[in-house]
Structure 1
């Protein structure tokens, strides 16, 4: 792919605040980034960094106080009203959650779930829908047995594959993955990450991978954006960011990964040294 392609996803100046009693909490503060067609961006940070709020704004579950989101050059409305607008938003951006039960109906089979999505988005012919369901399931490595199963009869990895198939059913431009492999065993994580890499290569879909796991981001992403208390601390190619981080907070995240000789007390001291209103501004 050429580097002069227009961005698939462009985010400019996103801000989101919440009220807690008389106080205002800033969850996301002036966030901006772009994602090229077929690109994969990791948004990294600890709990409370604002990364999940960012994901929810991308898919319309949260309304930003200010800022803009553009997909394929078209702005996404801050609020979505009406059936046509909701379907258009769904085709622009889809999400895969950490818990696939959030996107799979526990009362119906996996095949019926996918069929319902296709019917909702205008595929009227039952035979065409059935063929598309088989194709989607094959794409994520599931077969007839899993198609006929209820979600509770599948393993965690199989459920997450089914959730990915559901998200892909509408052929979105961007797929957001919010801690989508953090609840899986390491071996299953690797299978799902390989699946996502294959899908990205074959379809050109853009991935926004929200995670606290730097190893996962290293494996699947081209770029990484580090968030702390709603703000961007660093945004660079993954290989550069993880091998030679510029920002003290990024270095703290890398130092927090347990390994031989790891000293948690040292990590705690470094964390307390961060500015109480935000991470230091420079190296």
Structure 2
């Protein structure tokens, strides 16, 4: 098989459960599979509790699946990494950007110094090379010398998220996972960050996995969308097809839940109860 034919990222039959009170087990993700090709962008869509964030955490190694496997360019990466070199290699392959950039930014040091530390950790020992790379990363995400010297608390929300993206890009990952990465931003800032991600995707060929509850964001960024409901995939199709003619009741419910003229939240609640009655967690 040629290298070009090997998927960039592939998840096969992923399952993750958590221990609950009284010995019960909650199924967070059940039999999840997808394929992401180089330069592709996959949206994973669902409401809170759908399993999308657990999926993101499994992709970057923060959670281990109970069953199934994850492959990067044909090589399994599901097994728990042991040793510093293996952990760095895993981090270099797949990076994540969170909803709250404070989760990945060190509040005690400036943005430029933070990026330099990441480069040093991953083997860039030449100070001049690090400095030049820091400038390149900041420029790539639309930040400059003033932001490089600033502590995270001195930046706006959009600037902090750009810095978090620069931090993730510093190790040149093959895949960037974005977990609700723009949901806390103002709409105008969201657009700026989404445009930035589209530009980075075009210029680098990086693969994107965009986890979001917002179908408008998925429409803007992604080629394909995978809709999750209570841990399971209920629909997985190209974004234009899914949005134009959703096949599953839950996807239709998500689309109808977006505020629009004549929108009635009480009606949406009734449809939810009719279409998707509660069931006990497995």
Band the TM-score falls in, shorter-chain normalisation? over 0.9
> Deviation at 1:276?
2.7
Describe the SS at the equivalent of 1:201.
helix
1:109 alignment partner in structure 2: 110
Q: TM-score, normalization: structure 1?
A: 0.96
2:169, 2:83 → 1: CA distance?
22
For residues 13-28 of structure 1, what are the structure 2 equivalents within 5 Å? 13-21=13-21, 22-28=23-29
Does the CA contact (< 8 Å) of 2:65 and 2:78 recur in 1?
no
1:73, 1:117 → 2: CA distance?
27
1:281 alignment partner in structure 2: none
1:12 alignment partner in structure 2: 12
1:47 alignment partner in structure 2: 48
2:270, 2:186 → 1: CA distance?
31
2:278, 2:79 → 1: CA distance?
31
Does the CA contact (< 8 Å) of 1:12 and 1:31 recur in 2?
yes
Structure 1: 4+ residue segments shifted above 4 A: none
2:181 alignment partner in structure 1: 180
Per-residue CA deviation, residues 144-198 of structure 1 (Å, 9 max, x unaligned), is 0000000000000000000000000000000000000000000000000000000
Gaps (5+ residues) in structure 2?
A: none
Describe the SS at the equivalent of 1:43.
strand
2:18, 2:62 → 1: CA distance?
14
Number of aligned residue pairs: give it: 275
Describe the SS at the equivalent of 2:209.
strand
Change (3 A) 1:77 1:84: farther
1:78, 1:263 → 2: CA distance?
47
Matched, 1:249 2:229: no
2:176, 2:128 → 1: CA distance?
27
> Deviation at 1:5?
3.1
Q: CA RMSD in A?
A: 1.0
Gaps (5+ residues) in structure 1?
A: 279-283
